[in-house]
C-alpha cells in the first residue's frame, strides 16, 4: 500500500485537489474551431475540384457559418485567459515549439480568410446586398479572380486548424491521456464530420446531401478506427497511459464517453445516414444534431478527463 | 552555471517551515503556495516506511512549460532557473497543464506564478528562503557546475532520486534517499 498526501496544506485554486484549470472555454473553442475548419475545408476542396455548382451549399453557403463559429470561439478563448489585457503578446512573437503560438497565428490567417469567403458569397443569400464602397467591390472582384489560390490557402490552413486543436492537447506529456498523436487526426476528423453534418442540414439539393452523407459516414468510420487505435496504443504503453485509458474503460468517464461520444455521436448517426442512403425517410436534423453533439462531447470529455490523468510519483 | 537543490528526505521532519518562509519572503497571496511538503507512506502496519519531501518547481533543464508558452513569458534565466515574466504572460494556463509536477498556479492578478529559486536572494549571495530557514538543515542549494558547491558535494556522497525523470524534464531538484 502506498499513500501520498500533501501535508503542508497546499490548496492552490484550479490546481488542488485536482487540476482543473481549463473549463468550458477550451473545449467550446476546440469544437467551434474544428467545425469552422471542417466547413472551410470542404468549401476549399470542392472549389479546387471545380464542383462549385454541384455542391453549392458546401462551397458558398455553409462556410458563412465559419466566421461566426471562429469569432465565438475566439471570444471563448479570450474568456479563458487570466491576464486578458496582455493577450496581444501572442502576436509579438512566433514560438515554433508552442502549439498555442501556432494556433494563434493560424487563427490570424483562417479568421480573415473565412470573412473574405463569406463576403465573396454573401449575395447568394442576400441578392440585394450592397457594399456601398467601391473599394470593397474591387477587393472582392480581386479575390474572385484569385479564388483558386485562395481555396488552396484555405485548404491548408483549415487542415492545420483542425489538426492543431488536437495537437494543443497532445503536446503535453504531463497529462498521459492527451499525450497521443492520434488526438490531432481524431479532432480533425471530428471537425470534418461536424462540417459535413452542417452541410447536410443546410443543403436543399438531394445529390449534395447524398454526397455529404457518404462523406460523413466515411469520416465516422475513420473516427471509430482512430478511437480504437488510441485505446490500443494506451493499453500497450506505460502504466500512466494504461491508467489514462482506464478512465474510459471502467473509470468515471466510461459511461459519458461510450454513450454520448461513440454511440449517440457516431454509431447512431452513421446508422441513420446509412438508412437514408438506402432510401429510408429520416428527418435530416436527427443525425446532424447527434453528430454535432458527439463532436462537442468528445472535446469536453477529452479536455476534462485529460486534466485528471497524471504521472505517479 | 546550473542552480540546483538537494533535499534530504532522511532529515526532513515535514514542519512546513519552508512553505511559510517562501510565502513570507515572496509575498505569495494568501491561499497559495509555491512549495509544499509531501508525505509518502509505504507498506502496511506494522511494516511502514515514510518519506517526506519538500517540493517546488523543479527548474527543469528541458522544461515543458517553457516549450509550450506561446509568448515566451516562461523562460530560462540565470543558472537555468525557470521564470515567468509577468507582463508577457497572458494567463492561458498552458504551462500549468504542461507541468507534471503541478508546480505552477494562476496568481490572483492573472499571470502565472511559481518558485523562482529566490533568485533575488541568490544574486545577493544569500540562500533561497526555504533553504535558509530549514530547522533541520535538510536542504542544500548551489551550482551543479561548481564541484565544490554544497549541492555538488552532497550529491557526490549520497544516493538520490529525481521526480518523474521518465517525463524527460531533467529536473534540478534532487531528493537524497
Query: Are A86 and B19 in contact (CB < 8 Å)?
Result: no
3-state secondary structure at position B48: strand
The pLDDT of residue B64: 95
pLDDT tens, position by position, A210-229: 999 999 999 999 999 999 99
Q: Which residues of B fall within a CB distance of 8 Å from A86?
A: 71, 87-91, 111
Alpha-carbon distance A136 to A78, whole Å? Answer: 29
* Arithmetic mean of pLDDT over chain A: 94
Q: How far is B25 from chain A (nearest CA, A)?
A: 17
The pLDDT of residue A313: 61
Query: Is a pLDDT exceeding 80 seen at residue A310?
Result: yes
CA dihedral of residues A188, A33, A61, A276 (deg, nearest 10): 50
Integer CA distances (angstroms), A59 to A55, A146, A223, in order: 6, 15, 24
Across A110-119, average pLDDT: 95
Which B residues 112-131 touch A at CB under 8 Å? 112
Query: Are B71 and A93 in contact (CB < 8 Å)?
Result: yes
Quote the percentage of chain A above a pLDDT of 70: 100
Query: Is a pLDDT exceeding 90 seen at residue B5?
Result: yes
**In order of start, what are the domains of chain A with their CATH numbers?**
25-308 (1.20.1630.10)
DSSP annotation of B163 reads: S
Q: How far is B62 from chain A (nearest CA, A)?
A: 12
pLDDT tens, position by position, A129-154: 888 888 999 999 999 999 999 999 99
Q: Which residues of A fall within a CB distance of 8 Å from B73?
A: 89
Query: Are B89 and A97 in contact (CB < 8 Å)?
Result: no
Quote the percentage of chain B above a pLDDT of 90: 100
The fold of B3-176 is Alpha-Beta Plaits (3.30.70)
Q: How far is B57 from chain A (nearest CA, A)?
A: 14
A4, A8, A98: residue with CB nearest B16: A8
The pLDDT of residue A132: 86
Q: How far is A217 from chain B (nearest CA, A)?
A: 34
Query: With an 8 Å Cβ cutoff, is A238 touching chain B?
Result: yes
Residue A161 banded pLDDT, cuts 50, 70, 90: very high
Phi and psi for B40 in degrees, rounded to 5?
A: -115, 125
Across B64-90, average pLDDT: 95
Q: How far is B148 from chain A (nearest CA, A)?
A: 31
The pLDDT of residue A143: 93
Across A69-74, average pLDDT: 96
Alpha-carbon distance A197 to A287, whole Å? Answer: 8
Q: Which residues of B fall within a CB distance of 8 Å from A80?
A: 92-93
Q: Which residues of B fall within a CB distance of 8 Å from A90?
A: 70-71, 90
Query: Are A10 and B36 in contact (CB < 8 Å)?
Result: yes
Collect all residues with Cβ–Cβ distance below 8 Å to A174 and sequence separation of at least 6: A310, A311, B64, B97, B98, B99, B100, B167
Query: Are B168 and A93 in contact (CB < 8 Å)?
Result: no
Across B67-78, average pLDDT: 95
Residue A193 · residue A83 · CB < 8 Å? no
pLDDT tens, position by position, A25-44: 999 999 999 999 999 999 99
Collect all residues with Cβ–Cβ distance below 8 Å to B30 and sequence separation of at least 6: none
Which of B41, B54, B90, B106 is the best substitution to test chain A (most A C-beta atoms within 10 A)?
B90
CA angle B108–B114–B116, rounded 5-degree value: 135
Give the residue from chain A lying closest to B161, CA to CA: A313
Number of neighbours of residue A284 by Cβ within 10 angstroms = 18
Q: How far is A249 from chain B (nearest CA, A)?
A: 23
Collect all residues with Cβ–Cβ distance below 8 Å to A289 and sequence separation of at least 6: none
Give the residue from chain A lying closest to B87, CA to CA: A86
The pLDDT of residue A312: 74
Alpha-carbon distance A167 to A169, whole Å? Answer: 5
Residue A2 banded pLDDT, cuts 50, 70, 90: confident
B64, B89, B163: residue with CB nearest A172: B64
Residue A34 · residue A162 · CB < 8 Å? yes
The pLDDT of residue B144: 95
The pLDDT of residue B88: 95
Alpha-carbon distance B66 to A261, whole Å? Answer: 34
Integer CA distances (angstroms), B172 to A287, B115, B152, B163, in order: 53, 13, 12, 9
Alpha-carbon distance B39 to B57, whole Å? Answer: 17
A10, A90, A172: residue with CB nearest B97: A172
Q: What is the ipTM of this complex?
A: 0.91
3-state secondary structure at position B9: coil
Integer CA distances (angstroms), A236 to A177, A239, A241, in order: 13, 9, 8
Residue B36 banded pLDDT, cuts 50, 70, 90: very high
How far does Cα B78 stand from its chain's mean position? Answer: 15
Query: Are A89 and B14 in contact (CB < 8 Å)?
Result: no
Query: Are B70 and A100 in contact (CB < 8 Å)?
Result: yes
Q: Which residues of A fall within a CB distance of 8 Å from B41?
A: 1-4
Which B residues 8-37 touch A at CB under 8 Å? 14, 16, 19, 31-33, 35-37
Alpha-carbon distance B132 to B152, whole Å? Answer: 18
pLDDT tens, position by position, B90-137: 999 999 999 999 999 999 999 999 999 999 999 999 999 999 999 999
The pLDDT of residue A242: 95
Amino acid at each position: 500500500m502506498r499513500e501520498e498526501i500533501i501535508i503542508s496544506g497546499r490548496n492552490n485554486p484550479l490546481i488542488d485537489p485536482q487540476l482543473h484549470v481549463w473549463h468550458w472555454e477550451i473545449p467550446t473553442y476546440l469544437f467551434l474551431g474544428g467545425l469552422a475548419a471542417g466547413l472551410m475545408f470542404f468549401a476549399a476542396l470542392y472549389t479546387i475540384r471545380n464542383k462549385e455548382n454541384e455542391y453549392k451549399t458546401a462551397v458558398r453557403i455553409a462556410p458563412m457559418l465559419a466566421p461566426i463559429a471562429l469569432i465565438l470561439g475566439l471570444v471563448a478563448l479570450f474568456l479563458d485567459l487570466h491576464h486578458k489585457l496582455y493577450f496581444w503578446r501572442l502576436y509579438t512573437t512566433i514560438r515554433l515549439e508552442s502549439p498555442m503560438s501556432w494556433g494563434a497565428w493560424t487563427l490570424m490567417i483562417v479568421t480573415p480568410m473565412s470573412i473574405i469567403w463569406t463576403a465573396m458569397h454573401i449575395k447568394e443569400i442576400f441578392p440585394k446586398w450592397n457594399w456601398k464602397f467601391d473599394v470593397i467591390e474591387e477587393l472582392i472582384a480581386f479575390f474572385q479572380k484569385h479564388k483558386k489560390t485562395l481555396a488552396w490557402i484555405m485548404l491548408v490552413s483549415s487542415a492545420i486548424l483542425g489538426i492543431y486543436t488536437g495537437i494543443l492537447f497532445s503536446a503535453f506529456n504531463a497529462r498521459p491521456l492527451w499525450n497521443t498523436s492520434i488526438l490531432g487526426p481524431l479532432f480533425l476528423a471530428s471537425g470534418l464530420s461536424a462540417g459535413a453534418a452542417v452541410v447536410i442540414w443546410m443543403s436543399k439539393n438531394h445529390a449534395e446531401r447524398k454526397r455529404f452523407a457518404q462523406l460523413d459516414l466515411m469520416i465516422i468510420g475513420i473516427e471509430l478506427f482512430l478511437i480504437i487505435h488510441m485505446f490500443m496504443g494506451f493499453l500497450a504503453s506505460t502504466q500512466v497511459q494504461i491508467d489514462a485509458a482506464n478512465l474510459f474503460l471502467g473509470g468515471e468517464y466510461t459511461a459519458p464517453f461510450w454513450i454520448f461520444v461513440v454511440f449517440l455521436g457516431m454509431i447512431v448517426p452513421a446508422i441513420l445516414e446509412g438508412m437514408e442512403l438506402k432510401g429510408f425517410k429520416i428527418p435530416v436534423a436527427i443525425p446532424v444534431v447527434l453528430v454535432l453533439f458527439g463532436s462537442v462531447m468528445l472535446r469536453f470529455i477529452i479536455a476534462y478527463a485529460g486534466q485528471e490523468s497524471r504521472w505517479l510519483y | 552555471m546550473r542552480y540546483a537543490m538537494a533535499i534530504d528526505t532522511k532529515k526532513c521532519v515535514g514542519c512546513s517551515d519552508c512553505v511559510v518562509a517562501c510565502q513570507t519572503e515572496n509575498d505569495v497571496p494568501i491561499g497559495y503556495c509555491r512549495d509544499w511538503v509531501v508525505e509518502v507512506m509505504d507498506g502496511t502496519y506494522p511494516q511502514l516506511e515514510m518519506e517526506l519531501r519538500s517540493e517546488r518547481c523543479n527548474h527543469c533543464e528541458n522544461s515543458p512549460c517553457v516549450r509550450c508558452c506561446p509568448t515566451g513569458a516562461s523562460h530560462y534565466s540565470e543558472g537555468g532557473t525557470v521564470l515567468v515574466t509577468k507582463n508577457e504572460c497572458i494567463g492561458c494556463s498552458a504551462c500549468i497543464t504542461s507541468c507534471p509536477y503541478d508546480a505552477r498556479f494562476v496568481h490572483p492578478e492573472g499571470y502565472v506564478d511559481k518558485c523562482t529559486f529566490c533568485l533575488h536572494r541568490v544574486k545577493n549571495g544569500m540562500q533561497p528562503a526555504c533553504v535558509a530557514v530549514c530547522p533541520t538543515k535538510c536542504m542544500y542549494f548551489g551550482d551543479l557546475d561548481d564541484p565544490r558547491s554544497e549541492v555538488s558535494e552532497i550529491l557526490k556522497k549520497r544516493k538520490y532520486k529525481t521526480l518523474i525523470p521518465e517525463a524527460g524534464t531533467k529536473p534540478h531538484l534532487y531528493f537524497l534517499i
